[in-house]
Chain A
């Protein structure tokens, strides 16, 4: 079965640079979520989109922005990167309706040096 695809798997950036993470949800899934997981931490919700509109917002810094495109893929744009942004970034997708579980991608590991 198709899963959530995230790219790239690994990304190394320097401070103050920008980064773009991509997420391709499971086909027919209309909701996308972004999570940030620091070392030894639980995943923290950043933002979600339903039918290309932002549906919920968590602890996403103002330096970050995201959108969902017409083909339902989503991109997380991160600017003015800081050392503390180094983390594993997960994308998850689901069908609308709370009985539908979230399916996670393998994550993008971002390292800021």
Chain B
């Protein structure tokens, strides 16, 4: 079974600084997808960024980028120029690439605080 591990329960960053959230996963599959979701205090689940395992190029979305190391099964999220609105719980998630319709398997989450 696939597992997702986020080893940092809480992280803190100064406004305008850069922070990296860690995520590792365990799978025997070669085809899969990885995601970062953000959950602010409103509890809404918001897609931040996604990465296809077959793509070597790291995904980027504005201030958000990932460092995808397939051999190491690592998928970290880098937030540049942190803003107060980035404060939230961040979940790393894995999705199978074949077989079933592919539900998400989530890590336990990292709570990010942004200091003004």
Contacts and interface: CB of A to CB of B under 8 A. Distances in A.
Contacts of A103: 47
Contacts of A50: 101
Contacts of A109: 43
Interface of B: 32-33, 35, 37, 42-47, 50, 52, 91, 95-98, 100-109
A45 interface: yes
Contact of B91 (A43, A92, A99, A106): A43
Contacts of B107: 42
29 contacts: A31-B101, A33-B104, A41-B108, A42-B91, A42-B108, A43-B91, A44-B106, A45-B103, A48-B100, A48-B101, A48-B103, A55-B100, A55-B101, A56-B102, A56-B103, A98-B102, A99-B33, A99-B52, A101-B47, A101-B50, A102-B35, A102-B47, A102-B104, A104-B37, A104-B45, A106-B42, A107-B43, A107-B45, A109-B43
A63 B101 CA distance: 24
Interface of A: 31, 33, 37, 41-45, 48, 50, 55-56, 58, 88, 90, 92, 96, 98-99, 101-104, 106-107, 109
